[in-house]
Amino acid sequence: MLSIVHRDLKPNNIILECDMTLNISDFGSAKTLSPDVTEEHTCRVVGTSGYIAPEYASRGVYSLKTDVFSFGILVLETISGRKNTILDKRGDTVGDLVRDAWCIWKDRRLHELVDRSLGHGYDIAEVVMYAQVALLLLCAQEDPVDRPAMTDVAAMLSSESMSLPMEPKEPSALSEGGAGEDTYINRSSRTIDITITSSATVLTRVRFIIDPEV
């Protein structure tokens, strides 16, 4: 049986019907893998920045773990209401949203990941479960070997007593930047650090301390 690698899994390619049935669309860039092949290479990388797996974006390597990464980003964005931005000029591989999520997970503050526009209209236990299943943290690991198979993700989601099969690894450090200009905003706490780099080799850091009462 052939397996399909979509290679461009993102919100625009997910169709939600009125009965909450999900359909995946736009298979124009999809590839198939035979059962005896674990990965393939391509010289033409297609997809959308922020959703592309690191090994596929940098080396053109795709496998069944490629869409697992994209799936993790999709769920992370659904929970947080934020976009995952790749800071290319600073050597980023996973995106700012994944980095913030990892920091929040490390500090055991997963409730802070939830989109504030939801108010209190959600079950925090469910959100924590989705986060722990690593629909954002394990699925969005940089190394495909560290990502679970989608069958394992489904099994963990359907289990009432779920525990992490492994500890999520910290994303690799960003470089100091290069030519051009990049801005990185860390929203993982009430302290917001903004780093601005430019081609003039000038590095500016600005820190905002947010009043907890605001």
- Taking each helix axis from N to C terminus, what angle separates 64-80 and 150-157, rounded to the nearest 10 degrees? 40
Q: Is 146 a catalytic residue?
A: no
Please tell me the distance from the alpha carbon of residue 182 to that of residue 196, in angstroms, as a whole number.
6
| Residues present in the chain in total | 214
Task: Select which of 8, 67, 92, 100 is catalytic.
Answer: 8
Amino acid at 36: D
Please tell me the distance from the alpha carbon of residue 50 to that of residue 48, in angstroms, as a whole number.
6
Please tell me the distance from the alpha carbon of residue 135 to that of residue 118, in angstroms, as a whole number.
19
DSSP 50-75: TTS-HHHHHH-EEEHHHHHHHHHHHH
Catalytic residues, by residue number, are 8
